[in-house]
Amino acid sequence: MSWSEIVLLISLMLMAAFLFLPILFIFNHAFKPFSELFNYPPTFIVRQPTFQNFNDLIMKTSAGAVPFTRYVFNSLIVVVCTVFAVIFTSLLAAYVLSKHKFYFKSLVMGVIMLSLMYAPETVGIPRYLIISWLDINNTYFGHILPFVASPVAVFLMKQFIDQIPNDLIEAAKIDGATELRIFVKLVLPLAFPAVATIAIITIQAVWGDTQASTLFMQDETMKTLPYYISTLASAGTGGNTIAGQGIAAAAGLLMFLPNLIIFLLFQKRMMETMVHSGVK
């Protein structure tokens, strides 16, 4: 290795170590005893690790009207159903937009691109009106529906499917393959890296979402884990925000772990999508 390559390697290692610090802090913070939670300056490495924060979390949820497992179950149901719904709809929409010609195709794509500009907060009231009009408050479908039409998923999927040669699809049609067979046997396997990327993005968005539970769910048994965790730091133990920080730290780690695991499993596919779809 040349000196320039050595310097570049050392620089990248230092940058990676710096970016790893928040992850290290989250893990250590969850196992800190109450005496270490408020040390100044804050410490990254826990000195006397304890499971007391997790015990307090379990005790607090067991004393409530809704058990902790109910929030976890709701989140898992919503995440799994939403991921499949988003992948299915974005695949179909992207395939049509990429490989078929029809009137107003440019207009449809323009509307999708325009929708990327809207922040979730700006569509909170329209979503509430639609959910109320459909009368799906306090249902799992009320959690899932706002995420089904995902402009980011359609855009990434279309950019990836654009890389599939048209000659390959034409050859399949000449061999007698139907549109459904082409989609299932040809497009879907080739677009799997994009599917994995969309799954990661959707899981991260849905797993941490609190808007649906706050706006659409009045029944406490239909609310999800992120909503409950968001109330821990404010409610704490008996309304004490200081005493609730240990519980919030433990719950924060539980919220972070699924995102980390999913990303580590599918990071290779995600990088392939970014390269092939032209997203820099």
Distance CA 213, CA 226 (A): 9
Whether residue 210 contacts residue 165, with contact meaning beta carbons closer than 8 Å, is answered with no
Residue 273 is predicted with a pLDDT of: 59
DSSP lists the bridge partners of residue 237 as: 240
pLDDT tens readout for residues 230-261? 776 555 444 456 667 788 888 888 888 888 88
In sequence order, the β-bridge partners of residue 240 are: 237
Task: Give start-end residues of each CATH 1.10.3720.10 domain in the chain.
Answer: 66-276
pLDDT cut 70: percent of the chain above it: 90
Q: Which numeric CATH code is attached to 66-276?
A: 1.10.3720.10
Average pLDDT, the chain: 83
Condensed to tens digits (0 to 9), the pLDDT of residues 185-231 reads 888 888 888 888 888 889 888 988 888 888 888 888 899 888 887 77
- The pTM of this model reads 0.79
